[in-house]
Amino acid sequence: HATLGVMGGGQLGRMFVHAAQAMGYRTAVLDPDSASPAGLVSHQHVRTAYADADGLAALIESADAITTEFENVPAVALRALAERRPVAPSGDVVAICQDRAAEKAHFVAAGVACAPYAVIETAEQLAAVPDALLPGILKTARLGYDGKGQIGVATREELIAAWALLGQVPCVLEQRLALHLELSVIVARGADGALVNFPVQQNLHRDGILAVTQVPAPDVSPALAEEAARCAGQIAAQMGYVGVLCVEFFVVRTESGLRLVANEMAPRPHNSGHYTIDACDVSQFELQVRTLTALPLVAPRLHSPCVMLNLLGDLWFDAEGRERTPCWDAVLALPGTHLHLYGKASARPGRKMGHLTLTGASLATVRATALRVCSLLGLPSDGLV
């Protein structure tokens, strides 16, 4: 029985563990949190910090091949593991994805446009920022997620204050674009260069956090979808990527029509790809297993239109701020409703607790079900009406 190891024990690791176990593998999770969502369901759970030498040695001892479920694993840890075991994705590509400056430079190298930006690491660079980047969004180069580590700035004064507020750490300033819509593409690339992609997802974010994903993307033309898939494949191939990669795109309107702009990428399965578990014949997590173990990659097929709704911790509190469990009965009484909860011990507003995937015969039916769910749970319905 081969054992697959994963760095990180969050919900992405948990769903990787589910996929690996379904295919007969044993699993080992490295995460310091003794109640991590993936650690709770794994055969083994190494409870140390990510770069802890004893923890890495224990993972090497247990696992025959190792992957990661989040991009902030120190690249040095992945490189150390790779000296003894197959590791995918590699420390080198994860290092690119960890740093917005390196990531944007890579998009440009792969021939894919990104938002106009400047790297800010020094007071001199801050002073030299061109006016054309304002109004903009200042983002820490590292460690941001769910819109954390980002401040919108309209003027130079605001920019200076924002950089101070972020601790004067390395940042990128991006021009704020007028978004027509947002989409993402998930690709899987094997060590032999084989490349497959999932259908393009249309995403709605609220307060910087993914809220709704719809597939097939209702407002994306086949030509634009094909272009996005081609760009994502190019971004993966250009860095010799092995594993599952998600590329987020903005769609902006220009005089010559709609244009794709790469936003950021994640070297792992992605929240916008959770629908693949219930709506595709192979999930993003199964493809993560297959890329890690050099099993054949097959082009995924969407067998059902779907809407994915994220379930944030806010749902676990009533209007008076008292903790409660959402009432799932009425939701699960609707056809084609798939509930996924991540087993997190405590809810916090904004914390990803689970998701719902709704499947049905047509996107129109599924959207109608999604509206019912939103009204039952008290979720906003923008993007679905």
What residues form the annotated binding site for ATP?
A: 100, 139, 144-150, 174-177, 182, 205, 263-264
Of 36 and 203, which CB lies nearer to ligand ATP in the complex structure? 203
208 binds, among Mg ion, ligand ATP, none (CB under 5 to 8 A by kind): ligand ATP
Q: Per-residue x/- marks for ligand ATP, 181-220, CB under 6 A?
A: -x----------------------x--x------------
CA–CA separation, 171 and 180 (whole Å): 25
Evaluate the CA torsion angle 218, 220, 221, 225 in order and state its sign. Answer: negative
Amino acid identity at 60: I
Q: Which residue, among 197, 200, 354, has the nearest Cα to 271 in the 3D structure?
A: 354
Residues contacting residue 201 through CB under 8 Å, at least 6 positions apart: 183, 184, 185, 186, 213, 214, 215, 217, 272, 273, 275
What is the four-CA torsion angle of 63, 69, 72, 78, rounded to 10 degrees? 30
Span near Mg ion by CB under 5 A; candidates 42-50, 218-226, 258-266, 333-341: 258-266
When asked if residue 259 is in the footprint of ligand ATP (CB under 6 A), the reply is no
CA–CA separation, 78 and 60 (whole Å): 11
* Residues of span 117-136 touching Mg ion by CB under 5 A: none
Span near Mg ion by CB under 5 A; candidates 39-47, 223-231, 247-255, 309-317: 247-255
CA–CA separation, 26 and 23 (whole Å): 9
Q: Among residues 61, 92, 121, 146, which is the contact residue for ligand ATP, using CB under 6 A?
A: 146
Size of the site for Mg ion (CB under 5 A): 2
* Shortest distance, position 237 Cβ to Mg ion, whole Å: 21
Of 26 and 106, which CB lies nearer to ligand ATP in the complex structure? 106
CA–CA separation, 228 and 245 (whole Å): 13
Binding positions for ligand ATP, rule: CB under 6 A? 115, 137, 139, 144-148, 174, 176-177, 179, 182, 205, 208, 248, 263-264
